[in-house]
A and B are shown apart, each in its own frame.
Chain A
């Protein structure tokens, strides 16, 4: 019994320190994201027209690209969580699945909202069916949204978890299907060319802001991952305690 109480107390201390770590990372990451936006407007230079139809709109890339890279990591968490639950049915796997779907939805929405805004301003069309990344992110974000909404509306249990982790895996099997479909579409309907230039690479100042953005988003995601994971872990403990009370009430 002593060992058990000791384990609980040390576990609580560990969780508490993780919570502070998560909050710290979230605040630092959030500040970095705001700083990225400010520097994107003030520090980063204006792009050379004419290749850009809307030179001001390019600044959205300082959020769009980090959103995309961060959501990719979140979708990987979702995938690992899906497999973990599907194969081992462990609670940590389910918590990882929940964390991945929440963050995948958050950052995925960032990609599919900022992308069309930029596309509208630059190409005159909000969506390009020939853009592999945009379509893949849209599909995975839709799957993440389905999972998040279903988790909220469905009673928690093994059956629900089995079905939703199946949907998580289904989302990833769709990635190659989307890739083939998009590639064929792109070949039939060549995409809009954004920059007709032989020069490659970004201006060093732009690169500075972009790197700041990516690092800030990753720190933010790390903080949010810890907090989300911990909240699901605590929710599970709370449910277990409620179940014990239910049993005491019945007997």
Chain B
């Protein structure tokens, strides 16, 4: 008496699965699975590149990177497609998600390199323009 029977556990499984895999959820979340799949490949390599950490932190890193990819991939694909009309936004989603996953936590280092390159370009233009400092 009072012990949950096996049938109850099966019923709970069915209930949770019915919620998780309902048609409504599938319609909303399904299209984003391409981003998650591509980002998880990139995030796996990014995780292997990182210093060893606790398992919980590793899982959190993985979820965080895939979450970031979900948030910014579509916007980045739209920006790239605007500059390259021959590339469709749909075709860009997977490679961009892969790249976002691969970068992982290295965004500050990447942005610092981009800023350094821009500054070097500006310096080059100034010297070519005949400036003497």
Partners in one complex: no
Chain B residues with CB under 8 Å of chain A are none
